[in-house]
Chain A
Amino acid sequence: MPSTIDHLRELYRHRELLVSLTFRQFHARYKQSVLGLGWAVFKPIATVSIFTVVFSVIAKFPSDGIPYPLFAFGALLPWTLFNTAVSAGVPSMVNQANLVAKIYLPREILPLSTIIAASVDFVIALAVFVPVMLYYGVDVTWNILWAVPILLITTLFTFGLVLFLSLANVWFRDVSHAMSFILQFWMYLTPIIYPLSMVPERYRLLYGLNPMVGLVEGFRDVVLKGTPPPLDLLGISTVMAVVTFWFGYKLFKEREYQFADVI
C-alpha cells in the first residue's frame, strides 16, 4: 500500500500539470468577459461595501474599534479563500468527469488546482487590501508574520475538506447542492461580520471547534490589531486542519480507483 509520502511524491511529479490545470481554470473563468481579471478586484470591494452598509451603517455591529470596512475586509480575505476553494473544489471531480474517466492523473490535482486558483484570487484581493490598510493608517507590528502560518493552516484545512467532500460528491451529488447552503450558514458561525468578543466567554471553546474561527479571527488580529492570534483557538484549528487533511487525503487515495467506474 503506497503511503501518503508516495502520493505526495507522485503529486510532485505532476506539478506542471497542476500549473496547467490551474491556469486553465483561471484563464477560462475570465475569457470572454470584458472586465476579465478586474472581477477579482471588484468582487471583494463590492462585498466589503455591502457588508459595511448592512452590518455597520444599518445594523450597527461593533468592530473592536477598527473601522468597519477594514474589519470586514480583514476577515473576508481568509474566509473568501476558503469559501471560493470549497465551492469550486467540491464539484471539481464531477465537473471534469471526462478527465476522470478518460485519462490517468493523480486525481487530487483537480481539487487542488481549484484551491490554487482561489489562492490567486486571494493574492489579488490582498493587493486591494494593502492600500485600504495604508489609507486607514493601520499600525503594523511583527505579529503580522503570524499571517503566514495562519494562511498555510487555512489552505491545509481547505484542501483536506475539499478532498473529502469532492470524493463524497462523486457518489452523492447532494453534497455540492448542500454546500452552497452550508457555506452561508458557516459564514455566520465565523467571526466575520461581528467580532469574536461578541461571543460569550463560556461558549468560546465550543465556538472555536469551528476551525475557521481561530483562522479568521487570528488573521484579523495579527494584521489589523497587531496582537498575537488567540493561541488556544488557533491550536484547535491547527489540530483539526492536520486531522482533516490526513484523513481526507487517505480516504481520497483509497477510493481514487473507483472514481472512473462511479462518476
Chain B
Amino acid sequence: MQPAIAAQGLSKRYYLNQSVGLGLRRTIARIQGAPLPERPEFWALKDIGFEVRRGESVGLIGPNGSGKSTLFKILAKITRQTEGRLRVNGRLSALIEVGAGFHPELSGRENIYLNGAILGMSRHEIDRKFDAIVAFAELEQFIDTPVKRYSSGMYVRLGFSIAAHLDPDILLIDEILAVGDFSFQRKCFERVREFRSQDRTFFLVSHNMLHIENVCDRVLYLKNGHLVADGPPSEVIALYLNQQDAQSQQRLQDGGHSRITTPILSDPERLSVSRVRTYDAQGRETDTLMFGEPLEIEVEYRATKPLIRPKIEIGVFGMGNFLAETNTITDPSEIEVLEGEGRVRCRIDPVLLTPGPYHLDLFVADGETSADLCHWQIAGEFRVAFPKDFRVGSGREGLFRFPAHWHSVDAQ
C-alpha cells in the first residue's frame, strides 16, 4: 500500500535579509560579474526523511524554532521545500491556526460556510454538517452574531469545530487541542480518537507531551531543523524531555541560567523571596529524587513588615501541564507569620510522580487582603527517577502512580 506521506531529504532555506537594497546590490553584482554580496541564510529544515502509513497518528515535537511549523507548512503546500521530495497521497487538510480566514464582520453561520470552503469542504457537505458543527461548538444561540462580537473562547470553539468536521484522509493540527475549557477539550480528544478509528492519518504538533502520548502512536522529534528521533511515543518523549533537561543542567553547570526565572514582586519593600531549594529524604539539597520518597521545598524570604497568616502556594508542573498545588491555607500549616529574614519548608511525602523533569512555581499573598506579593513562574526544578529495583509495567507511565493495592474478592 502507498504511504500517506513520503518525505525524502526535505530541506528549507530562508533568507534572513529580504530587503530590496540587498536584492538590488546582488542584481548589480551579477550583471557586473562581481562577487555577490553575501545573503545571510538559515536552514529551518535539513534533510528530513520519513514515511507515514495510512491510519497512523504521528506526533511532532521539538523545542521552539526547531522547524515543526515549517515542516507543517510544507506538508500543507503553503510553502515549498528548497530541496528534497515530498509525496502526499489523499486529501489533506491542515489547521495551522484556528479561525484563520474568519471574517470578523460576517456571522458565525456565514463564517462556517466561508471557512469550510477554505478548508476544502463543498457547500453540500457543509449544509449536511452545519447543525453538527454548531452543536459541537455550542454556539446555537450566537450563530447569527458577527464573529467580531465573539469571545476568544467562542471564536476558537467555532474554528476548531469546523476543522473537526472535515473529512480529509490526512489531518494536520498545530497545537490547538489546548483550546476552550475542559469539557470542550475532552470533546476535541474524543473527536480525534474517532478520527483515528476511521483509519485516517493524523499529524499533531504540540508542546504538551500528554496530548502527544494520548493520541499518537509514533513521534518525530525535530531539533534545529534535524530529525533526531522517530519512534514510539514513550521513547521519543523521554529522549526529548531528557535532552531538554540535560540542556538546562548544562546551562547550570556552565554558570549560565537554567529555566529558572526571577520572581515578580509586586511590593519589594514589603517582601522579597530570594531562593527556593529542594531537599531529599536525607535532608540533602538535591534536584533529583527517587519515586516514592519525600520532597521538602524550602522558600527563603525577607519581610520588612511582619506578614500575618500569609498564603504561600506552590504549584507543580510537568509535561507542560499544571499537575498539583499545595498552599498554607487549605493544607495543614504551622506558618503564622513571616518576619525578618527566614525560611519556611513544605514537606510532600511521598512523591508519587513518575520519572521525568518537573518544575515549581510560587505565589505569596497577603492572608488578609489576598493581594499577591510575589509570583515566581519557575521557582525551582527537580526530576524524579525510579529506584533501580523498581519494575516498570506496561511502558505507559502516566504522570503519577496511585498507592494502589490489588486483591481477590471471591476466590475459592
**B43 contacts the other chain (CB 8 A):** no
**A20 contacts the other chain (CB 8 A):** yes
**A257 contacts the other chain (CB 8 A):** yes
B63: chain A residues at CB < 8 Å are none
CB distance B20 to A172 under 8 Å? Answer: yes
**B78 contacts the other chain (CB 8 A):** yes
What's the Cα separation between A172 and B122 when bound, in Å? Answer: 35
CB distance A104 to B103 under 8 Å? Answer: no
CB distance A98 to B97 under 8 Å? Answer: yes
**B207 contacts the other chain (CB 8 A):** no
Inter-chain contact total with CB atoms closer than 8 Å: 66
**Number of A interface residues, CB 8 Å?**
25
What's the Cα separation between A103 and B174 when bound, in Å? Answer: 12
Bitwise, B199-236 to A at CB < 8 A (1) or not (0) is: 00000000000000000000000000000000000000
Segment at the A interface, from B110-118, B280-288, B369-377, B390-398: B110-118
Query: Of B79, B100, B106, which is within 8 A of A31 by CB?
Result: B106
CB distance B14 to A103 under 8 Å? Answer: no
**A16 contacts the other chain (CB 8 A):** yes
Which of chain A's residues has its CB closest to B124's CB?
A: A16
CB distance B146 to A103 under 8 Å? Answer: no
Kindly name the residue among B80, B101, B110, B122 whose own CB sees the greatest number of chain A CB atoms within 10 A.
B101
Bitwise, B83-98 to A at CB < 8 A (1) or not (0) is: 0000000000010110
Main secondary structure of the interface of B (DSSP, over half): loop
* CB proximity of A142 to chain B, nearest CB, Å: 39
What's the Cα separation between A262 and B79 when bound, in Å? Answer: 10
What's the Cα separation between A258 and B105 when bound, in Å? Answer: 29
**A102 contacts the other chain (CB 8 A):** yes
The 6 closest A-B pairs by CB, nearest first: A257-B80, A102-B100, A20-B117, A104-B77, A17-B117, A28-B105
**A123 contacts the other chain (CB 8 A):** no
CB distance B78 to A101 under 8 Å? Answer: yes
Bitwise, B9-40 to A at CB < 8 A (1) or not (0) is: 00000100010100000000000000000000
**B303 contacts the other chain (CB 8 A):** no
CB distance A103 to B122 under 8 Å? Answer: no
Given pairs A23-B114, A24-B110, A31-B146, 20 additional interface contacts (CB within 8 A): A16-B123, A17-B118, A20-B113, A21-B117, A21-B118, A28-B103, A31-B106, A32-B105, A98-B100, A98-B101, A99-B100, A102-B96, A102-B100, A102-B101, A103-B78, A104-B77, A104-B78, A172-B20, A260-B78, A261-B14
